[in-house]
Structure 1
């Protein structure tokens, strides 16, 4: 008997057909109910709550349109809409311009340092948005900004040259932080494009810049537009940058207004819900146009059955400026933000780097943070929540991917769409909907870490779906059919065949969800309570309390931990990933 036959023989047990069918369908039913509960119930309840008045004493809540009337009649609604759209559009344009330029330099030219840049592009994704924003406040604030203080002390320029507290500053910070995402998206598009048309144009005498603007960018136009809508959607839901840079100077967007409506006394949940619905509609438009575009991209296809190998363009004298541009970008996005946080963490108070300040350096801030009352509990909470969310989601979405790809259940596409629905949920909106729902449905999770876990499971479910679906498509169903013919139950086949073969996608998705869960603030900031803080909330509280030095120390430690996790993910991908022949 062969090893494979022996394995299947061991898996075969005396389970009748009815038991096997029951186990399989019970799991499928449980998964469908779990997805519907996580993705659909909070949305329905949020919509319902936006049409209700708050209950007061013996007066029950009643149906009303007052929340929407107040929202639309408020003089702030047009500025809110305008600021939100300008901020999201500006961020999308900036991040896409930077990301596309560097993706083209890396994939289509002989630019120096491009391999180093590709590896370094992952690092900004590790830095939480709140820390990235804080670092730029320390660099470009009118009062304490490093750039302004250097210009004042060195060149005698009195007035602040840089002002991060502006719409331009918000777009700059958010655009820089999201540019690596645009870079990764556009790199994939350039890498998959047949370069024959570009090479034909080059042989016909066209310059590199003519080829770039008249051929290359036109061929990747669907990817450009899709990336724009992805950046737009992610920016419209951003909370940290508008809260830290916009709110202090009166630049409000929908996310900051939702947070203010919840935090005011008494909480105006109905108004916050109506704002949330408006924000959800705007985000849904971005997702809708992105999905529409993906179905109409065939006329731009250049990859056919013929093989091709891209050959990089020789930039000639432009190689040096391109290399300098890459170095400047890495300094602005990676080196400076981290060094500013590191310098701030070693001082008693934030000051401009100088030789005299070198004598005041100490590790006191790190000692203070380690002994800070909420830090230990927050680190423990974040670790438990991140590991639990990642493990639960990868197992749940593995079954969802199996149902969508392997079965012929009617309406299975609906399950896939339902599991992807949280993609359109801005984090703050999701936190609001879950908060309201479990406040009314008193099952003992409100005010505990369980409600934050539910938010993470809901928010990051689409990521688990994408990782598992990609891996599931590579597994042929013959392996499961052979196990079934050998007498294995569905559970045995799934646990001992499907999951081990999904290991590369499972491990990569698990580590990614751990990282984004530890970074998550927008949904956590409305759901935490004393004792259930997470590390991102501690950073938020340190900032609100003006403890900038302690915040910097905590941020440095957090970045180093997340960077270690990402490096582990890279090693795991190389160690356990599918090897190409």
Structure 2
């Protein structure tokens, strides 16, 4: 006797239409509508879309002015250089950890991930302490011994700082590729007496070409939209890129909204072009496939005499990416005025900076706002994307492809471009949320929708629909089935998405830097404002507190996530 297969019920036709239409309307409002207003604003000489007066002067200025060519060159050099530096470091660490017999691999894996947790603004300020022209921990000895110093306020300085901070992303992406690659071709090269370096150069890296190209493009787009280094390093050094120019266009008096929209539109176009190129590069990745139905066990390369050289390289990375930045922040947080370490300074260490942070009303408000934003943003993103993913994967409802597209659109929108779009939108539609925490929630939810939808879609794809069909066969309609069957099964993906959005919301700066007011300051923006008033030792104290709390929080949430996975 064969069991009759029960079709998974979607909502009734009326509810089906209402839910999909409502979801499309919400996602279009969050993603497409602000971009449409942005583009209209770039072609308007008026102060709002309702005062639309067509003009091309903003684009003419952005595209033909001599300074604009320098801006484009700086942006491409900064993004391209940082991507190359991050990829080189991340790939080297990934290969050492995943494919070599270097000692203490688990330790280096953990160390490589730490910078992912640290907000970019904290990393950047730490390197300001290290590369300060006169009293930097690195520059002072260099100047004393050799008579020269390294400047952070240049394109190479910006590339180094951003590349070092982005290397963990390259490490994570390349680690997965190294871990799953069939080593048979490498073994064949070794059997032909090729040394490890030759095998890596002629076999391993060519096999990983699609992944490598994909990672470089992701790093390029991510750096192109970054704001921390261009604002904190680039502006004082008068090295302008698109994100810093957009910020200056808003902060000048009176704000030039049209110019800001034009810069944002160009940055958006470059970002979209990069992502389209990424899609084209990865479209035929199956040509490079090495994972088949044949079982294999990845072989670790024996480094021999180079084993401890690789260990030294990993130690240098750990020193530069984790230890030095944290130590310089910790030291700076314990002194009254930042100076180089000395015996006298160590005798006068103080906790007054920490007392100031804990007693400062603006900082306490920023902590509360950040927690509210992170909690609400993570919850809303997970709620929206779980429903959208279920509709797109489990049903044949018309419009489900459009839903998936709309949820993924923000991946191409740089954070500061999203901020500009919302500035235009809510200065045009004045409903009283500009400058409040609500506009930041809208920005954060929109920005992180793609990460939620990919996590939910991946989780649902791993859950066979027969359990939902059993619920339907028992007479349950779609909502009870979704709530009592699908959601519990989807819990690991839900928790993973929630944790990710919660953490990145706590450290977000670029999406909110144009949208906040004194009532809606968050931690990253508070640090940015304190920097402008020269409160560097207080910033160091707040940074140390944030790093400790974020690392502990990630550890706890990951532990809870692991228990959830085991329980399911």
Q: TM-score range by the shorter chain?
A: over 0.9
Structure 2 partner of 1:197: 185
Q: For 1:366, which of 354, 359, 371 is the aligned residue? A: 354
Q: 1:137 aligns with which of 122, 128, 133?
A: 128
* 1:57-206 mapped onto 2 (5 Å cutoff): 60-152=51-143, 155=145, 157=146, 159-206=147-194
Tell me which residue corresponds to 2:502.
514
* C-alpha deviation, 1:327, in angstroms: 0.8
Aligned residue in 2 for 1:473:
461
Contact 2:10 2:395 in 1 (8 A): no
**Deviations along 1:475-523, whole A, 9 cap, x unmatched?**
1111111111211121111111111111111111111111100100111
C-alpha change, 1:392 and 1:233, in structure 2 (3 Å) is: same
Give the structure 2 partner of residue 39 of structure 1.
Answer: 31
Query: 2:528 & 2:75 partners in 1: Cα distance?
Result: 22
Alignment partner of 1:306 is 2:294: yes
Aligned pair partner of 1:378 in 366, 372, 382: 366
Deviation at 1:20, TM superposition (A): 4.6
Distance 1:386 1:438 in 2: 22
Query: Is contact 2:24-2:406 (8 Å) kept?
Result: no
Question: Which ranges of structure 1 fall in alignment gaps of 5 or more residues?
Answer: 1-16
Normalization by structure 2: what TM-score? 0.96
Question: 1:398: which partner in 2?
Answer: 386
| Cα RMSD (Å) | 1.7
Counterpart Cα distance in 2 of 1:553 and 1:227: 34
| Correspondence for 2:234 | 246
Q: Deviations 1:266-312 (Å, cap 9, x if unpaired)? A: 11010111111111111111110111122111111111111111010
1:319-359 Cα offsets, whole Å, 9 max, x none, are 00000111110111011111111100000011212222111
Following superposition, the deviation at residue 19 of structure 1 comes to 8.0
Please say if 1:541 is aligned against 2:522: no
Q: Measure, in 1, the Cα distance between the counterparts of 2:68 and 2:295.
A: 54
Structure 2 SS opposite 1:524 = coil
- What displacement does 1:578 show? 5.3
Contact 1:141–1:165, Cα closer than 8 Å, also in 2: no
Q: Distance in 1 between matches of 2:527 and 2:360?
A: 12
- Show the counterpart of 1:225: 213
* 1:420-461: CA deviation from partner (whole Å, max 9, x where unpaired): 111111111110101110111112211211000000010011
Q: Report what 1:8 is aligned to.
A: none
Q: 1:18 Cα shift? A: 11
User: Is 416-425 or 212-221 further displaced after alignment?
Assistant: 416-425
**2-side partners of 1:271 and 1:376: how far apart?**
35
Deviation readout 1:251-278 (Å, 9 max, x if unpaired): 1001100000111011101011111111
Q: Pick closer, same or farther for the CA change 1:190–1:279 going to 2, 3 Å.
A: same
Asked if 2 retains the 8 angstrom alpha-carbon contact of 1:31 and 1:400, the reply is yes
**Contact kept? 1:39, 1:422, Cα under 8 Å:** yes
Partner-residue secondary structure (3-state), 1:436: helix
- The residue aligned with 2:18 is 26
User: SS state of the match for residue 235, structure 2?
Assistant: helix
Conservation of the 8 A alpha-carbon contact between 1:193 and 1:303: yes
The number of residues matched between the two structures is 559
TM-score, normalisation: structure 1: 0.94
Q: Equivalent residue for 2:306?
A: 318
Q: Find the counterpart in structure 2 of residue 530 from structure 1.
A: 518
Q: CA deviation at 1:579?
A: 8.3
Residue equivalent to 2:332: 344
Counterparts of 2:216 and 2:138 in 1: how far apart (Å)?
Answer: 31
Contact 1:150–1:352, Cα closer than 8 Å, also in 2: no
Which residue is equivalent to 2:45?
53
Which whole-Å CA distance do the structure 1 matches of 2:326 and 2:496 have between them?
Answer: 26
